[in-house]
Structure 1
């Protein structure tokens, strides 16, 4: 990657950090600058005190040096403590903010991309790099403070060594100005050696981390998730899955033995790095001591120059390492930005939804039409829906039925624009729904999908989908879905947490109870259209029939769309549409369709009728 591109990526990284973690880099930089200055304060004052001891030994001068170094250390310590406190607090929150970066992207992505395996692999790799080793943004934060400390150290080192080359020893060789480029060349050479050794160590580290991704994910599941997750506890015990976990642990032990080879190689490179540093320090000592022996300066100055030279050699090496780290983390940042820059291909319309669509004028003037709609999922050549033509009229109750895999759920996904049709169009009032403002269009619907999710929030927050809500309205919705008796038994009422992820007092609920809560959530939204996609799959047939009968009364004048492979909803519907293999094969009322003994509906009804004989 070219230097210019790396700088552009680095700048963008700083902008992203400023957006999500404002003040973090500033606090880290201030702390690093102070930390970089600390040793040089001690070096300079130590040199002056030693020179004074070897010279006139003036008590006033000693006292001045002691007061000065004490005051400077106190001031530096105060500044560093404040900046460290701010920086540590922001760094502690940094990982939450990094998670928010991915959350924000996921929430803004097209739903089709959320189900795209290649895109999700791209996200997973970016997350693993960032959260396991801090690659990318984490490295940028740490490298920024390191770089500030290095630059401060180099400036301070040079400032303290300038007088070394001005001091005259009377020896032409030792007083030659050629020592300046010579020592500079040695510093650069040593820095380059550090760079090469660190580069090799990082190369080995990268190979090692490739295996640790698998190791950590496997350990996270088999070491924690499999046993700690109480929702898996029954299956683990009933099916003896602990044996499978033991086999995976054996693989992890073998993997650990392979890791030792990588760790040993990294240690050897680290040893060579220390050897190079020692060589540099020895050369510095030799030059300074030789010049001092020739009478160029006193004993205290030896301490100053040796200390400054040693720090300079270290910081030049660290500067090279910072350059190397920039090359590494910009590659990770580039992959992160490639994911964050994935475009949303779904067309975003701007048309407002007509307000009288919400009115119940009794004339049913407004409708949604599927016009010759066909659809296949991205990456697939198989059509899930074929030439669908149907209308959803406002105020009617309609059922879409068929066997599993007939295309009913995909039909709902197209209705709410989670996907756009591959062919054909969906119209609202004769206008393609893609041209409407998406949020306004979605405000018409409340959905209960077959794979709905509740969250580890309170019962009231789950139903209202908000922290602030009308408690009376929530209770009314609970009554309508026949969950009121269970609700009354909850000690904390609407403030009862669901599940135990957040609260130890959280309530574990059954699948049927969860579906009733999801139904209450749909009612609370107060939309003119309610779509129920297999909402009663976890209920027994009698409870299912009661829910549908009650729900038919709840929706009143609203449009209700029932998607199901079970037919208890059909008797309450104005129209039934039968799906089979992605096509519409029948339409009509329950009475009409059940008369056609050769039709798909009759076969489904006849197979299920015995379950509803007591309903």
Structure 2
């Protein structure tokens, strides 16, 4: 991948903007601290000249004492002021990094949902985040801003002193310094190539590491003896990563070894040249001390400056994928129609077709149906028929490739985002209950109403369980953060997810496999109380267990993304089509 300075500067500007937004004070403090740090070496360069010359000359004790006092006070003031600013900057740096991490998380949650199911996006996110999490690239760049300024100011001051001596000393210093910077550039380039090779391996390693660290898969790992396979895969990744790191360390060792040799030659030449020139020109010992000090300062500051520039350019290249990721547009709250009549909330799919981005196969094809207010619909069909995709479209996680979805006669993609979210409560098949308290999970970030909470828990069939807990609805789900937390069964977690949907009290409720984790008794209880559960709301119900469909007034059968059968249970059984075939097949499993 070819890189240019323009792109690197763009990436640097992108991060600098985030730093300024996170803490404008950091930038000002960094500049002042750099000026103070840059001035500090010149206290040790300039004052000794006058002290030595005075001691070798007239030996005026009062003047000598004045030089000593001025040097001490200057060094004390500069050190204390720079130290105070540095402590402030170190404290602020953490806030900046937290803000950047927050922005990353907000961005990931804000991009269009289709990205989260796109392999290319997932791979790009891993590429972008690896330098941030492993190399702490953003931390290095943030901390190098003041160092870069300090090196520039220090080098400029040293140049001013050396120019009063001669130009050749500058050339003698710069030649090996440039060679070292050139070697560093080659080292960084090779390290980048090794990093790009190791990215995919790091992704696998993180995956295996997370599995081995997670308690969730523990039962499967033990029962199927998967630990040997997982450890083998983990160790293979570990060996490959170690090989990559070893290559990087070997490169670094060679670079540092050659650099030290060149630095030693540089110091020898500089001191030798200045010493010979001092003997020939007859400069004072104090001036000799000043020039050698300036030469050493110029040498170290220019070497640091060039190395910082090389490293910054390298880190700006590492930032490239991160910048690309951050520039993916975030979905904003769509402002649209707000006056939706919830008392006449019909739900309609009108000639809806959908294919996932980057594919040429329709998951849904010309789907048409209409639900009247308060009507319940069961969507059934084989795996892969498109049932869950319908829910994603209804939830506005995806947009139909063709056709419209209307609610209350209005295209759902023209309704104000906040208004639309209030119209819909969804329990997804792969729902998530968080390690928060029960009431926080059910209220989902809204103010907790004890009356609504109790009603939702009762209708979901989990109220009695919650009542038995020592802290009631304030009990945490799981023990990761609270020792007093409770580990719930899969069926109980599913009931909490249903309670969350009921608490929202939306006019449309969508249940995707809501009884998948329930035992037969709990499942039967849900079916018997289905009308009470939905509370007269418009309900869309997805289930593989067709016995549940009898409780819905209407059933549609999906096959290859199309509605092939439509009616109530009795009508579809009389039709003797695929629905009747699947129903009888499942019934036979219970009757033997």
**Superposition TM-score, scaled by structure 2 size:** 0.91
Offset of residue 246 of structure 1: 4.1
How far apart are 1:22 and its partner, in Å? 4.7
Is contact 1:114–1:120 with CA below 8 Å preserved after alignment?
A: yes
Q: CA deviation at 1:198?
A: 0.4
**d(CA) in 1 for partners of 2:488, 2:499:** 15
| 1:447–1:522 Cα contact (<8 Å) kept | yes
In 2, Cα distance between the equivalents of 1:78 and 1:551? 73
Tell me the equivalent position of 2:104: 102
CA distance change for structure 1 residues 415 and 347 in 2, over 3 Å: closer, same or farther? farther
Relative distance call for 1:32 and 1:470 in structure 2 (3 A) is farther
Partner Cα distance (1:183, 1:292) in 2: 12
Report the counterpart of residue 342 of structure 2 in structure 1. Answer: 358
Q: 1:194 to 1:388 in 2, by over 3 A?
A: same
Residue 603 of structure 1 and its aligned partner are, at CA, apart by: 2.2
Equivalent pair of 1:458/1:494 in contact (CA under 8 Å): yes
User: 2:574 aligns to what?
Assistant: 595
What is the CA distance between 1:487 and its match in structure 2? 1.0
- Say which SS state the counterpart of residue 305 (structure 1) adopts: helix
User: Quick check: 1:292–1:302 contact (8 Å CA) kept in 2?
Assistant: yes
- 1:233 maps onto 2:218 in alignment: yes
- Report the counterpart of residue 545 of structure 2 in structure 1: 566
| Greater displacement, 547-556 / 270-279 | 547-556
Question: Aligned partners of 1:8 and 1:254: how far apart in 2?
Answer: 33
Write out aligned runs for 1:203-602 (5 A): 203-210=189-196, 212-213=198-199, 216-222=202-208, 224-248=209-233, 250-251=235-236, 252-253=238-239, 256=242, 259-294=245-280, 296-343=282-329, 350-355=335-340, 357-359=341-343, 365-466=344-445, 468-596=447-575, 598-602=576-580
Distance 1:493 1:484 in 2: 9
The answer to whether the 8 A contact 2:350-2:369 is kept is yes
- The whole-number CA distance in structure 1 between the counterparts of 2:69 and 2:397 is 71
Distance between the aligned counterparts of 1:552 and 1:95, measured in 2?
Answer: 51
CA distance 1:569–1:83, shift in 2 (3 Å): farther
**Whole-angstrom distance in 1 between the partners of 2:118 and 2:256:** 43
Residue 31 of structure 1 contacts residue 84 of structure 1 at CA under 8 Å; is this kept in 2? Answer: yes
Query: Structure 1 stretch 385-394 or stretch 491-500: which is displaced more?
Result: 491-500
Report how many aligned residue pairs link the two structures: 588
Q: Equivalent residue of 1:156, what SS?
A: helix
Deviation at residue 532 of structure 1 after TM alignment: 0.6
SS of equivalent to 1:482: coil
Q: Which residue of 1 aligns with 2:117?
A: 115
Q: Would you say the 8 A contact 1:541–1:612 is kept in 2?
A: no
Q: Is the 8 A contact 1:187 1:316 kept in 2?
A: no
* SS at structure 2 position matched to 1:230: coil
Deviations 1:190-240 (A, max 9, x none): 332122110121123223334554565555454x53443221222232222
Secondary structure of 1:231's aligned partner: coil
Distance in 1 (CA, whole Å) between partners of 2:495 and 2:303 is 65
TM-score normalised per structure 1: 0.88
Deviation at 1:610, TM superposition (A): 6.5
Shift of 1:390: 0.3
Name the Cα RMSD after superposition.
Answer: 2.7
Check 1:261–1:527 CA distance in 2 against 1; reply closer, same or farther (3 A cut).
Answer: closer
Deviation at 1:126, TM superposition (A): 0.7
Q: Secondary structure at the match of 1:466?
A: coil
1:537 Cα deviation after fit: 0.7
Secondary structure in 2 matching 1:404:
coil
Give me the whole-angstrom Cα distance separating, in 2, the residues matched to 1:607 and 1:287.
97
Distance in 1 between residues matched to 2:61 and 2:578, nearest whole Å: 108
Residues 23/250 of structure 1: CA separation in 2 closer, same or farther (3 Å cut): same
Tell whether the 8 Å contact from 2:439 to 2:474 is kept in structure 1 after alignment: yes
- Structure 2 match to 1:57: 59
